[in-house]
Every structure is written in structure tokens, then in C-alpha cells.
Structure 1
Amino acid sequence: MRPAHLIALCIALSGAAAGVHATGTANATAPGGASLAPYTNESETQTFTVNADGSFTKLDTLTLRVNTEAGIARAGQYYVWFNREMADVDILDAWTEDAQGHRHDVRPEQIRDVQELGSFDAPMFQDVQDKVIVFPAVEPGARVHLTYRKTQRVPVVPGWFSDFTPPDLAPTHNFRVIYDMPASVPLYADARGFTALPPQTSGGRTRYEFRYDKASFQRLEYGSVSYVSYGDRLMVSTFPDYAAFASVYRASAADPSAQDAALIAFAKRLTDHDTTPRAKAQTLYDWVRRNIRYVAINIGRGEIVPHHAADVLANRYGDCKDHVALYGALLAAVGVKSEPALINSGTVYTLPDVPGFGVINHVITWLPDLQMFADSTAGNIEFGFLPATDMDRMAVLAGDGTRVRTPATASTTRESDLDITVAPDGSARFTFRLHADGWAAEQTRSVLRLQTPAQREESLQWELRNANLRGTASIATSPLDATSGPLVLTLSGQLDSFVDPGMTTPVPALTSFVGGLDANLRYWLGEPRRTQPFVCRNFVSTERTRITLPPGIRVLDVPAPQHAENAYVEFSSQYALDPATNVLRVTRTGRTHFASDVCTPDEFARMQPAFETMSRDLRAQWIVKPVDNATAATSATATAATTATATAASTQPVHAANTPVNAQ
């Protein structure tokens, strides 16, 4: 298995943002049952020899078989993570066995040290590096063989040891992890899916061994949470409990600069007009998230030790630990209590039974008197909310190791009106007005705040293309310098060829730009079936559209209203035609009732009928046809009859095909 790269707090997650190494893959199957996984971990033994002070030596011997062309990119180079000021990595043996059985040794120039990529799209100043081994002659059918030794000269946490092993999500066989410990130092383990052998003690040392074998993994489904939230994982630690773990972080975060006179004066000046603890906390939160940019500085033990608050204030940058240190010092200066809360930021929603750096990779702020959390590294999150990557998971308070859960869910509310006026040539003018409140309002406002004019124009064109429309648009908003409260956004512009004036045309029953019901539905129905827990966020939405047609256009067909309701989703739509003004109206309402930000496959199965009803409705179209002046009078009579039918349908119970989807 690849080494876990999640030792440091605030370190960037993998490409899947899942806490699992990005090289993981599903195990596809060819006709006859042959494996088509890009590569297979045929054998690997990791042996840790741990010292009492937490330093250790790790010897890793592995063989990976390349199965497909895709496997060349995934197994053709190997990365070993280390901190150059605290550890050394020596490559003892590295070679490729090609498909014909010939040996190709890795040459010294094919082994390089490189700095890790930026964290959360921010620069990193650090001693943390990857030793990259580039294997030659790699092709389908080849095997790469590697033996390396990592010597952790300086323990990450003096006196303690922990290690986290997530599966690669590639077929894995003959995998062993061995921990050779001083007999006086007990090792605690959370081994889910791993087989633990009985510990063996001899000569003052105890040997713990864990084995793992798994032939295939399911594809990670769209929107699913991290595999290690519900699947296999191995966490070992010498920390007996989370209280001991929290005390270590608390000691490392001790900061004499929190009493700096200039820092205290600065906090009081910022909050001079605030009269309540909440108002002070919000003012300071908004200042930190807007003014302290995210930059990771992992030098020496900087992976887990925050910098002094006074230095962070002076530099105007820092990572999550530094944000918490500065925000906490500013809060203390104005008499508001806070403490660090250690969590996983990503889609790992469960913590192992034993603590350690690995799954825990982020720090946020707990405000006990206000009974709320704050994450000032999330520059686009309004005070009182958390980013989705912090929601509905266990947090470890640094004060005493108490475990508390972050909010299970939060809702956003949207109300929109779309007005389209069609000209005789089929073009149209439109105005779209959106009023958004809740967690999504500040996120959208932040995006608009940071966009350049060119980026904003590109976004507007994307919104039109996403609705299958062509034209031009401009935008106006409520003040973007606001840091809380609702966002009001107005799009206006011209649409090309919205209706064809020369032939029968379908007119989309469009009700929204900029997200809305349609965007949520595309996510929910991103999988036809679900077997894995997935992320689900609550919303309330009301969308209205008014389309004014020119006199020369006759409506031939009006969509039928829809309704669906169960324990998780409510949805309804209404359609109306006013023949006197040739105006079409659509109203759609939707609301979700998710108890958590994580939904189960069983819950998805019960939601799905309502989603399918929504999908049919969101594809609905009006059918219109041009008429000449000679037949306009006759058409008016027919249109009135159609309108009467449509209006009656919208006020009568829906026929059997549209009955509510009841909760089971």
C-alpha cells in the first residue's frame, strides 16, 4: 500500500478529497473474470521498529504488478513522504521486472527529492518532501520491486507514536504491517478489515502484526464519502485515549505572544462598537478570514505546532493551526472563550477508536459560550456556518479531549423569479432575480467578490450554456462587501432564437439560473443506484418563471403539474396559461429534510422516486406554434379552451401517474 500522507495538520487532502491515497482504483472485470485493475499490490511488508521516544525506523518491501496501460502512470513511480529535518529515506533496492522477466535497475538519477504540492491551492513553505522513485521499462505485465528504509530521527510528537494505513483501493495481497515496540509501551489499534495476530513479546520488545488481503474494491460512487469512513482502515497509536492526544496538542499550542499588548489593542479596536460576545466573535472571525491568507509553513515540527499569534498577525498568513491560534488570541483579548477543535477536513466522517495524526488533519475553533464552531480558513463561509468539509463529524476539543459532533446539517433558502419576454422574431429579453439566504449566500458572494471581469463574463456564458441557451447577460448584486445576510443577484440580457417564429417549437419550462433545483437534482441522480454513504445538504427553494409570448404564437400543449413527497423530499410544480395576455407561468417548490449531511444507500432508495418525478418535471416543455393573422381569431378560441383545461388540471388532484411518493 502507498504510505499515508496525512500526518500533518492542515495538510492537503488527496485528489478525491477522501483521506485515501489518490492512486486508489476500482477493480474492473474483463470477460472471463480477468482483473483489469490498473495495478495489483502483489505483496508488501512494512516493519516499524519504534523507540520509546517515538522515533522509529520503517522498512518497506513491496511488489506491484502493472496490469493495464493506466497502471503505468500509477505504479511507474513511487512516492515516499518524509520531513528532511526530522527523517531520512534510503532506497535499498529498486528495479523493474519487465513482462519477459528481465531486470531493469533504477539508476541513481531516477531517484529525486521533490517538495510536496501546495495545500488547498495555497503555497507551502516546508521541510516535507517526497522521495520519488521513477521505474524504467514499465509496461503492462511488468512488476516493480522496491525496498526502502525510512528513519524518523526526530519523533513528530516526542514520546508518542501513531500510524495510519488506508487501503490503496487496488487489489492487495500478502500485505503485512509489523510494529516492533518496547514491551513497556502498549500499542492500541483500530483494525477494521485487517486481521490482528496475537502480540509476541521477547527480549523486552513486543511485536504486533496485522495482515490484509482484498481482491477487489467497488468503484467510488459520485458524491460518496471517503472509503475509510465505512470501509477498511488500520490506525495504531501509543496514545491511550483522546484526552492524552488533546493534551499533546494543547501543550504544543501554548503561546506567550497571546498576551502581546499590540495584539490585545488591535482586537479591542476592531470590536469597539460590538456590545455582545457573539458580535465580537463575528467581527474578529470576519477580519481573520478576510485578511489572513492560507499559507502552510511546515518547518521542523511546524506540521503540528502552530506559530505564535503575534507573528501570524504581523505576517498576515498561516495555515489552519495558525488561524486558530490568532483567532483564539483575539477572542481572549475581548473576553470571549474559545479552544481548538481537532477534526478531519474532507469526507472522512468517522474517527477511529484510537487517536493519532492521520485521520485528524485539521483544526477549527470551538466557542463554548456561544455553543458553535468557526473555521476561519474558510474565507467564503459566513459566521455561524461551517464549510461542508467540516460538517457532521466528530471533533476533539483540545481542552480535555472531549469528543463533540459538529452540526449535522444546515439549510440554505433560495427564492427566484425569471421573466422572459419573447419578440416576434423569436429572440427574447430576460431578467432573473435570486434571493439566497443561509450557507450558500456568502459562498456565492465570495465567488463574485474575487472574480475578475473576464471570469465573471465566462461565468455568465456558462450559466446560459448550462440552460441550453445562447445570448448575452449582465449581472447586478446587493453589496458584495457584506459578510453576512442574504444575497440578491439579478441577471439580465438577451436570448438568441428562444422560439422559432416559423415552426412548431418546444419552449423549455426553465425556472432557474445559478444552481437551484436543477443543479441539486443532477447531483442527486449522479448515480442510478447507491451502495455507499453519500453527502447530502439541505435546501429550500421556490422558483417562478413568467414567459410572455408575442401575439403570433399559439400554445399547443401545457405540461402537467407534478407532486412528490416523502420523509426526505417535497416537490411540486404548477403551470398556467393566460390566453388574454399570452403569458405562461411556472412555479416549482422543493424542500429537503435530511437529518444529516451524510445519507445512506437505503435512504437514497426511498428518496429516488421523488427525484425521478422532479427529473421528469424539470425536462418539461411548452409546445408553441406560429399562427397568421387570418386564423388568429379562431386560434384564440382554441387557446382559451386549452387554458381552461390547463388551469383546471393545476387545481385538481394529480392523476394516478402523479400521485405523491409516500415514505415507506
Structure 2
Amino acid sequence: MSELRLLGRLLLRSARRSWRRSFRQFVHCGLVLSLIACCGVTIAHAEDTTVAEDVPPSVVERDVHLFIVQKDGSIEERDDTVLRANTTSGVDDIAQRYVWFNKDIEQVQLLAAETIGRDGVAHPVGPEGIRDVQEPRSAGAPTFEDGVLRTVIFPGVEPGARVHLAFRKTRSKPLQAGTFSYFVEPARGPVELQQLIFDLPAEVPLHADARGYVPLDPVTENGRTRYTFEYRHGTYPPIESGAVGYATWGDRLIVSTTPDFAAFAARYQSAAADPTTADPAIVELARSLTAQTDDPRTRAQLLYDWMRFNVRYVALFLGETAAKPHRAIDILRNRYGDCKDYVALYGALLAALGIRSEPVLLSLGPVYTLPSVPGYGTSAINHAILWMPDLGLYADASAGGTAFGYLPAGVMDRPVLLVDEGVLSRTPAGQPRGRSVRLQIDVGADGNATYMYRVEDTGATAEPERNMFRRSTHARAQQIASDRLRQTGLHGTAQIRTGDLAATDGPFTSSIQGTVEHLVWPDGTTALPALSSLSGGIATQVQTWLAEPVRTQPYVCIGGDFDETAQITLPANVRVTDVPRDAAVRAPSFDYASHYVFDPATRTLQVTRRLHAAFGHQVCSPEEFAQSRAALERIERDAFSQVVAKAEGG
């Protein structure tokens, strides 16, 4: 019965809002992480509406990973995996597999690669179905060309068929000498049996943080100990819109021979030691860039801006390749690097001016926790930023669209490891974010309208908005303006102008002007949207929070201050019959008010809306959503309210 009520409510809501299109958005770090598991097993859980809901597209029948670890950190990995396709979309899941390896220190030997048909007959993968391709995220940078994907394309895969892939990967040189760690999280496809087996010298203890992965009793013999973890899981519930990364609250496993975060930090600090940080070229550059000021904060900002505009970011995640930065002088010479390289060069420039800093290790993106055991991984430690203790500021210079003094959303409100101190800290839970809108719409006698739309962004969102236009061609900027009009549910023209794109901080303004077709029908009654913003305003923000009718998973909640004012002038041949009532909504995390005034003399409707949202953190619980849902729905209803206008004689 509840499903029928929900469906009826959604249909009614859709009918009331036929004038607009749904434009739900979820913004987290501004990055989309395309991650490939190092064990070579990744299953996309696709939905196939042509079959019963309880039949998953593909299944892991058997997945065994054996890691034979030596005391110096060298590894032999043996993987044996069988996957089954149940549906046509499941064929797409399993028909092509990848094995990631570092060609400088690892070798991969395929032991078995075959398709097993429904009749049980095996069809081996031929040489033409196996090829090595460059890791695409290296972006052609020579010092990052060690990452390679061995691609295996299976022949004759159809529903009911299986693919079998077994390989041996040997790492002769450890990423960090004398240590080993491994992180895994489910690919969110059904798993009938997965085993992760770690074989280590008996005198080397293995530390683990397991959630959902069941540890078996360790077995010690012949001077070595085997630790085994088993995993089984049926169909997973879908990830809810706006939810934080699955590893924040779901199953995952990390094992490590490093006992604690202090020891982990010491290892990184030792590996990152660099005699070139005081190179004369680095010192001279730092001094020349900051010659006009003695203020430490201004100097740090000038160096930060130089870094983000002059050093190209190569997006490999920390721990996938050698967990040490390149030499600062080489980074300066090459003008590119990954996150740890940015930290190394920026830290060297700061040190040249006597400004203290230290590397910071954390998990970048939608995962807001760290396991209790330290280690690298796609949802564990995978990123480096910098901390300036004397200024009390974190800086992520590799985030080219973030102004100095702010952080990208993807590194906010999460635990971090301060490398020099060897202790855990935390990035700020929030930062200022403001948006002020002024909208003017003039409707002609034919029902078409002209409009002028001006937005001022302040705080954390100003520089990302400015940077988006800074890096856009003229044609792309105009397309952005057109998209914002279209996403509001309006059809017409849009021409954009922006504020100073050479600035690197402070507020950013943009304005769009153009025409809108058939905003009011001149020969009948129109339910005219009482707009106070185009897409991206209060209405968009509230819809993002209300993207799910019920939440069972933690979700991202980023507050801010929104101030929107609009004036809609109607022609003399149109009579206004209904205007929305003022609204005021106050809840623990929200303060919202709207005001509507229609002046018959000038035939102008003024709409004012203001929203202050403050959560005190960036991750909200399902319980918080349940408590705020009623208030959010009241705000949503008002933000999408309408003015009823009737053409005279219509």
C-alpha cells in the first residue's frame, strides 16, 4: 500500500510541475573517480529491466586472491576468478577484464583466460584478445607511465556463460620497503565466494580492519602464517542519490603490516626526504613571486596561485605507484605532478620563505572515514594535501579551481594524518558559501519575455565558478548559459557575461540575458512559475536534499546562504488572479523565508526568497533527514510555487 501511495504522490507532484524539468544535482569533490581494482576484478552492477528483479546481471562464483609477502615487502599475487553472466547486461559486465600493474616493478603472467560456454566447453582467449594499454590517467606524462592495464577480451560470452581468469603478478621491488598493505571493497555485485589469503613470515604480524569480511583462524607452519578472509554477499541495495561513498558505512577490508598511523607517517616522511628542496632555482622562484610583500599569508597565497596555474596535475592516486614524491627540482622543471608532487614543490617554495608546512594524508572523495589500520587504497589513504600550522590553513594546490584559504568539498570534514607529527587530525567541517541572485523578467503582450539574470557567488563556490569560465572557450561558456536556462524548464536564448577572470579570489559575478518563449499564453490561463533564480538556486538545492523520499544511508549535506530577488513584469492584457502566500520555515538546520508583492499599477510581481542552511558537518544521517524532511518539503513547495495569470478576453 505504501508503494501505491508513493507512486500516486510522485505522479501528482510531476503533474503540478509540468512547467519544469527535474534537475537534481550532487556535487562532492568535483571529481569522478574511475577506479580499477588492482586484483583485476571489477563488476559493474547494471540494472536489467527485462528480467525479474531478483536475477542479478552477473555473479562472482569464485574469487580467490593469494598474496605471498616477503619480509622486504616484495609480493607474489595469485588470482583465480570465475564470473557468470546471467543477462545481456551481465555479458557487458564480464566480457572484458583488466589487470593493473606497475611495469617498472611488476610482471604479470596469465595462467588461464577462457570463456566457459553454457555447454561447459572452454574457449581460450587468443593472443589477439590480450593487449596492454597505458593507464589513461597518466595523461602522457613520462614520469607517470609506469601504470599499465592488461586487457583481456573474452570470446563468445553470452547469458549463462562464465569467464575464467587466473594470473600471477610478482612485485620484485616494494612500493615501500619492508611493509605491505592491501585495501579491498566489494564491487557491489553478488558474490558467492571470495577468499583473500595473506601469507607472511610468522614474525611479521598482520593488522586488519574488516567490515563484512569474515576472518578465519590464522594458520602457522614452516615459519609462515596464513591469514584468510572470506566474503559472501547477495544483491546489494542501490546507492541512494547523494549518499556518501559505500566504504564509509558498508563492507570493506584493509590489512597492513604497519602497526599504527604514527609508523605509517614516519615511513612516508622518510621516503619523501628530498635534498633538492633548497635548490637555488626554487629559492629564487619563491622570492621573485613574493617580492612585493612580507605578509606570510599573502606570500603563501601567491605561491599557491602560481602552483595551480603553472603545474599540470596528473591524476594518479596516492599508493598506486611509488608512495613518494618526485624531487622538487624535477617537478619544477617538468611543470607537472600528482598530489604528493604538488605538496613537495609547494612545501619547498614555502620553506624558502620560512613558512612552515607539512604533508597531510587522507582519503579524497565521497568516503569520509579512515580505517583503524593505516594503508593506501581507493577508499583509504589516496591523496595528499598540505598543512600550514602558523597560518592555521590546509591547502590542496592540486585542486586548480579552489581559492587559497578554502578546500574542495572532497577533502572537507574528514580525518587526516599529519605526516611530520604522526597524528590524526581533521579538516574543517564547513566553510563560507554564499549565492546572491537578481532576476528581472519583462513579459510582452505576445507572451514572450526578455530577462536579465545576475548571480554573485561568494566564499568557497566563487573560485570554482570563476575557474570553470576561465577554462572555457567562448562557445562553451555560452553553452553553460543555455543549459542553465533549459534546466530551469524554459526555452529561449541566453548570452552570458562574466566578471574578472584574472582574479584568483573574492566574489565572482556572472550575468545572463536573453529571451524566453511563451512564458505567458496570451489567449488563456497560465500557471507562471514564480521564479527567483535559474537552475542552481534554492529550488535546485532543496531538490538535491530531497532526491530520495526516504534515506537509509548517510548523505552529503553542504550548507550555505542563498539570497534571491526577482521582478516579473506582466503586460496590460494579462490579469493576475493568484499570487503565492508568504512562507517562513524554521528547523534545526534551516531558516527560510519568502515574500511576494504584486503591484497592480506597474503590473509587477516581486519575489524574495532567502535560505540559510547550516548543518555543522558535511555528512548527514538518515535520522537527520527524517527530522528535516517535512521542513524541506515545505520549502520545496514554496520554491516551486506559481502565479496564475489570465489573458483578458481569453
For residues 106-505 of structure 1, the aligned pairs below 5 Å read 106-118=125-137, 125-295=144-314, 303-358=322-377, 359-505=380-526
2:607 maps to 1:581 = no
Whole-angstrom distance in 2 between the partners of 1:541 and 1:396: 34
Whole-angstrom distance in 2 between the partners of 1:541 and 1:587: 11
Whole-angstrom distance in 2 between the partners of 1:520 and 1:324: 34
**Is the CA contact (8 Å cut-off) linking 1:563 and 1:613 kept in structure 2?**
no
Counterpart pick for 1:13 among 33, 37, 58: 33
**Is the CA contact (8 Å cut-off) linking 1:113 and 1:131 kept in structure 2?**
yes
Counterpart of 2:58 in structure 1 is 39
Greater CA radius of gyration, 1 or 2?
A: 1
2:602 maps to 1:566 = no
Whole-angstrom distance in 2 between the partners of 1:497 and 1:192: 56
**Is the CA contact (8 Å cut-off) linking 1:122 and 1:296 kept in structure 2?**
no
- 436 and 12 in structure 1: CA distance in 2 versus 1, 3 angstrom threshold: closer
- Alpha-carbon deviation of 1:432? 1.5
Q: Percent identity?
A: 45
- Deviations along 1:143-201, one digit per CA (max 9) or x if unpaired, are 11222111111111111111111112111122111111101111111111111112121
- Deviations along 1:29-53, one digit per CA (max 9) or x if unpaired, are 998x873222111112211111111
**Is the CA contact (8 Å cut-off) linking 1:39 and 1:171 kept in structure 2?**
yes
Counterpart of 2:112 in structure 1 is 93
Whole-angstrom distance in 1 between the partners of 2:268 and 2:129: 39
2:536 maps to 1:530 = no
- Deviations along 1:316-338, one digit per CA (max 9) or x if unpaired, are 22111111111101100111100
- Alpha-carbon deviation of 1:416? 1.2
Whole-angstrom distance in 2 between the partners of 1:557 and 1:351: 54
**Is the CA contact (8 Å cut-off) linking 1:164 and 1:235 kept in structure 2?**
yes
Query: In structure 1, what residue type is equivalent to 2:33?
Result: L
Counterpart of 1:58 in structure 2 is 77
Whole-angstrom distance in 2 between the partners of 1:511 and 1:448: 23
**Is the CA contact (8 Å cut-off) linking 1:27 and 1:170 kept in structure 2?**
no
- Alpha-carbon deviation of 1:128? 1.1
- 565 and 26 in structure 1: CA distance in 2 versus 1, 3 angstrom threshold: farther
**Is the CA contact (8 Å cut-off) linking 2:245 and 2:366 kept in structure 1?**
yes
Q: Which moved more, 1:106-115 or 1:75-84?
A: 106-115
SS of match in other structure, 1:350: coil
- Alpha-carbon deviation of 1:124? 8.0
Query: In structure 1, what residue type is equivalent to 2:567?
Result: R
Whole-angstrom distance in 1 between the partners of 2:44 and 2:413: 25
- Alpha-carbon deviation of 1:436? 1.6
- Alpha-carbon deviation of 1:571? 1.9
SS of match in other structure, 1:471: coil
Whole-angstrom distance in 2 between the partners of 1:161 and 1:278: 39
Counterpart of 1:103 in structure 2 is 122
SS of match in other structure, 1:523: helix
**Is the CA contact (8 Å cut-off) linking 2:62 and 2:82 kept in structure 1?**
yes
SS of match in other structure, 1:472: coil
- Alpha-carbon deviation of 1:407? 1.0
TM-score (norm 2): 0.90
- Alpha-carbon deviation of 1:529? 1.6
**Is the CA contact (8 Å cut-off) linking 2:46 and 2:89 kept in structure 1?**
no
- 220 and 97 in structure 1: CA distance in 2 versus 1, 3 angstrom threshold: same
**Is the CA contact (8 Å cut-off) linking 2:456 and 2:510 kept in structure 1?**
yes
Counterpart of 1:519 in structure 2 is 540
**Is the CA contact (8 Å cut-off) linking 2:319 and 2:376 kept in structure 1?**
no
2:644 maps to 1:623 = yes
Whole-angstrom distance in 2 between the partners of 1:489 and 1:59: 56
Counterpart of 1:554 in structure 2 is 575
Whole-angstrom distance in 1 between the partners of 2:565 and 2:267: 55
Structure 1 unaligned residues grouped into runs of 5+? 1-10, 632-664
- 281 and 423 in structure 1: CA distance in 2 versus 1, 3 angstrom threshold: same
**Is the CA contact (8 Å cut-off) linking 2:137 and 2:316 kept in structure 1?**
no
List 4+ stretches of structure 1 deviating above 4 A: 26-31, 119-124, 296-302
- 318 and 52 in structure 1: CA distance in 2 versus 1, 3 angstrom threshold: same
- Alpha-carbon deviation of 1:425? 2.4
- 119 and 301 in structure 1: CA distance in 2 versus 1, 3 angstrom threshold: closer
Whole-angstrom distance in 1 between the partners of 2:499 and 2:315: 34
For residues 70-81 of structure 1, the aligned pairs below 5 Å read 70-81=89-100
Counterpart of 2:625 in structure 1 is 604
Counterpart pick for 2:68 among 37, 49, 55: 49
Whole-angstrom distance in 1 between the partners of 2:270 and 2:301: 27
Counterpart of 1:23 in structure 2 is 43
**Is the CA contact (8 Å cut-off) linking 2:138 and 2:316 kept in structure 1?**
no
- Deviations along 1:268-322, one digit per CA (max 9) or x if unpaired, are 1211222322111111111111211113589999532211222222222211111
- Deviations along 1:488-509, one digit per CA (max 9) or x if unpaired, are 2222223233222222222210
Query: In structure 1, what residue type is equivalent to 2:340?
Result: K
- Deviations along 1:513-544, one digit per CA (max 9) or x if unpaired, are 25111221232122222111111111111111
Whole-angstrom distance in 2 between the partners of 1:61 and 1:331: 49
TM-score (norm 1): 0.88
Whole-angstrom distance in 2 between the partners of 1:424 and 1:124: 64
Whole-angstrom distance in 1 between the partners of 2:63 and 2:84: 12
**Is the CA contact (8 Å cut-off) linking 1:391 and 1:409 kept in structure 2?**
yes
SS of match in other structure, 2:478: helix
**Is the CA contact (8 Å cut-off) linking 1:226 and 1:348 kept in structure 2?**
yes
- Alpha-carbon deviation of 1:420? 1.4
- Alpha-carbon deviation of 1:354? 1.0
**Is the CA contact (8 Å cut-off) linking 1:127 and 1:298 kept in structure 2?**
no
SS of match in other structure, 2:398: coil
Query: In structure 2, what residue type is equivalent to 1:511?
Result: S
Structural RMSD (CA):
2.5
Counterpart of 1:656 in structure 2 is none
SS of match in other structure, 2:494: strand
SS of match in other structure, 2:160: coil
Query: In structure 2, what residue type is equivalent to 1:271?
Result: T
